[in-house]
Chain A
């Protein structure tokens, strides 16, 4: 079951690279949260029940509902609906994401160890690359926030992979999520001026 969810997670990354509407990014962030919740529930069989409930609740509440809700609010306030017109066309982002996928497979293979499954390692690396691509190739701060969240999901996925042996790592991952949610969305997101499609400076 975990494998199916991970493949779905990887498919969401392809659609991250191909879409150009902010609303679609937000929906994909929500879907990724839901998938991570499922992956955590199926994968973390050796973690104690209380911790598992905490992890599942965090992924469900923070990643699936709270963050997409805050992002919807930001989009509503700022009136930004699409990526910047000067952002790299999705065609090239997709091409780069395909390269990223292949590099992830090669990297994961070269870093193969007995602690982390290669499936998790590949997907986590692919997620990091797609998050970085979103940050590098887009110009709006909302895209950068979304790119950061994607990278955060990669960290979470990686922590789940090692979670049965190091449960504390997952809790640290959760703390990072909440920290990033409050800091990034609170400081940058909610302070965006309304109806500004041309966000060239951080203070815009």
Chain B
């Protein structure tokens, strides 16, 4: 079952965007589209050809494919509880983080490659916010490492809920809080960004992909959905006990992913997006919360 993690990411990615869409429809009192509407849109996009601006070069053409490849690569390292990851080695979470970052790097330089001032602005914001959120992930992982004494995703999650220490619940709660916020920021959702916005001045991720269309845009959407599923699975791993049976694990996986999607949908329905100049503070708050978890583990190990 070493592909359990990868399978869960793919299956979750199939449903997550639809559930978010349905939640938003129900919350705003609309009938709304079906659960697979995002994939119908992607199917339409996949049938279309890409049109490239004359100012863009080969970097722009390869960026969507590289971005999708990095996300797929990252999903190889995510375990599903005790059913291990496809690849696992000491310090794999660093590889995981930086392979996602390299995908983002390609998106950013592709946006700069277009020569558009709007896309440059979006790339600038994306780089800045990614830089701010990165410490939160690493501090959280450091906390988990100190709590479990392991340095790979697989071993961390194997030892996470069986340490016998009641304080692990605190790490679970802080882990969920921080990972949820990281997911919102990394997948460009409200309150930091808005996937439905159409004003270039307030856009972050969407403004970066203004020049992409057709097949390339479909790849970008797929990689965003996969990334969302990866973070959902990370949240599942810090909340659900490791020693449950396969049926219970599966039931909890479905429950966690549905709750994750519904939470994102509800946040987008009931919360306004932040003013752009408030975003750095918002993101730094996530890091500060992660530091609290780290301080707890520092004290505990005394």
The interface of chain A, by Cβ under 8 A from chain B, is 3-4, 7, 10-11, 14-15, 17-18, 89-91, 94-95, 97-98, 101-102, 104-105, 108-109, 112, 118-119, 122
CA distance A17 to B298 in the complex (A): 22
Contact B285 A15 (CB under 8 A): yes
What B residues does A7 contact at CB under 8 A?
170, 174, 292, 296
Contact B288 A94 (CB under 8 A): yes
What A residues does B285 contact at CB under 8 A?
14-15, 18, 94
Q: Provide a sorted-by-A list of 8 A–B residue pairs whose CB atoms are within 8 angstroms.
A: A90-B281, A97-B288, A98-B288, A104-B295, A105-B298, A109-B299, A118-B299, A122-B295
Chain B proximity of A89: nearest CB distance (Å): 7
In the complex, residue of chain A having the shortest beta-carbon distance to the beta carbon of B177: A11
Given contacts A94-B285, A122-B299, is CB(A101)–CB(B292) below 8 Å?
yes
What A residues does B131 contact at CB under 8 A?
none
Contact of A89 among B281, B295, B296, B298 (CB under 8 A): B281
What B residues does A14 contact at CB under 8 A?
285, 288-289, 292
B280 within 8 A of A: yes
What B residues does A102 contact at CB under 8 A?
291, 295
Given contacts A15-B285, A91-B284, A98-B287, is CB(A119)–CB(B299) below 8 Å?
yes
What B residues does A15 contact at CB under 8 A?
285
B302 within 8 A of A: yes
Contact A91 B292 (CB under 8 A): no
Given contacts A7-B170, A10-B292, A11-B292, is CB(A105)–CB(B299) below 8 Å?
yes
Contact A94 B298 (CB under 8 A): no
19 more CB-based (< 8 A) A-B contacts, given A15-B285, A119-B299: A3-B170, A7-B170, A10-B295, A14-B285, A14-B289, A18-B281, A18-B284, A89-B281, A91-B281, A91-B284, A94-B281, A94-B285, A98-B291, A101-B291, A102-B295, A104-B295, A108-B299, A118-B299, A122-B299
Contact B284 A94 (CB under 8 A): yes
In the complex, residue of chain A having the shortest beta-carbon distance to the beta carbon of B171: A7
In the complex, residue of chain B having the shortest beta-carbon distance to the beta carbon of A122: B299
Report which residue of B170, B288, B289, B296 has the largest number of chain A beta carbons within 10 angstroms of its beta carbon: B288
A-B contact count (CB 8 A): 56
Helix, strand, loop or mixed for chain B's interface?
Answer: helix
Given contacts A118-B302, A122-B299, is CB(A4)–CB(B292) below 8 Å?
no
Going nearest first, the 8 A-B pairs with the smallest beta carbon separation are A14-B288, A91-B281, A18-B285, A90-B281, A94-B284, A91-B280, A105-B295, A10-B292
What A residues does B287 contact at CB under 8 A?
98
Chain B proximity of A9: nearest CB distance (Å): 10
Chain A proximity of B207: nearest CB distance (Å): 23
What A residues does B280 contact at CB under 8 A?
91
Chain A proximity of B175: nearest CB distance (Å): 13
What B residues does A118 contact at CB under 8 A?
299, 302
Chain A proximity of B185: nearest CB distance (Å): 15
What A residues does B255 contact at CB under 8 A?
none
Chain B proximity of A169: nearest CB distance (Å): 23
CA distance A122 to B295 in the complex (A): 9
Chain A proximity of B200: nearest CB distance (Å): 24
Contact B302 A18 (CB under 8 A): no
B167 within 8 A of A: yes
In the complex, chain B residues 152-200 whose Cβ is within 8 Å of any chain A Cβ: 167, 169-170, 174
Contact of B167 among A3, A18, A94, A109 (CB under 8 A): A3
CA distance A128 to B302 in the complex (A): 22
What A residues does B292 contact at CB under 8 A?
7, 10-11, 14, 101
Chain B proximity of A115: nearest CB distance (Å): 16
CA distance A95 to B167 in the complex (A): 26
What B residues does A90 contact at CB under 8 A?
281
What A residues does B289 contact at CB under 8 A?
11, 14
Report which residue of A11, A89, A94, A102 has the largest number of chain B beta carbons within 10 angstroms of its beta carbon: A94
Chain B proximity of A28: nearest CB distance (Å): 13
In the complex, residue of chain B having the shortest beta-carbon distance to the beta carbon of A104: B295
What B residues does A89 contact at CB under 8 A?
281
Contact B288 A18 (CB under 8 A): yes
Given contacts A11-B289, A14-B289, A118-B302, is CB(A101)–CB(B295) below 8 Å?
yes
